[in-house]
Amino acid sequence: MTTVELDIPRPPAEVFAVLADGWTYAGWVVGATHIRAVDKGWPAVGARIHHSVGTWPLQLKDQTVVRSVVPGDSLELHAKAWPFGTALVRFELTATADGTRVSMAEKAVEGPGALVPEAVQALVLQPRNRETLLRLSDVVVRGDHR
Is the pLDDT at 145 greater than 70? The verdict is: no
pTM for the full predicted model: 0.93
> Which tens digit of pLDDT belongs to each residue from 52-91?
887 778 788 889 999 999 999 999 999 987 777 899 999 9
Name the residue with higher pLDDT: 18 or 144.
18
Residue 105 is predicted with a pLDDT of 97
Task: Give every CB contact of residue 97 below 8 A, 6+ residues apart in sequence.
Answer: none
Task: Give every CB contact of residue 81 below 8 A, 6+ residues apart in sequence.
Answer: 31, 53, 60, 62, 87
The SS3 call for residue 41 is: coil
C-alpha separations of 52 from 35, 38, 55, 110 in Å: 7, 12, 9, 18
Name the residue with higher pLDDT: 128 or 81.
128
Name the residue with higher pLDDT: 111 or 94.
94
Residue 80 is predicted with a pLDDT of 87
Name the residue with higher pLDDT: 2 or 145.
2
* Total Cβ atoms within 10 A of residue 127: 12
pLDDT band at 146; cut points 50, 70, 90: low
Residue 94 is predicted with a pLDDT of 98
Residue ranges and CATH numbers for the domains of the chain are 2-142 (3.30.530.20)
C-alpha separations of 118 from 3, 68, 88, 89, 132 in Å: 11, 23, 13, 14, 19
Nearest to 134 by CA among 8, 22, 26: 8
Residue 144 is predicted with a pLDDT of 66
Mean pLDDT of the chain: 93
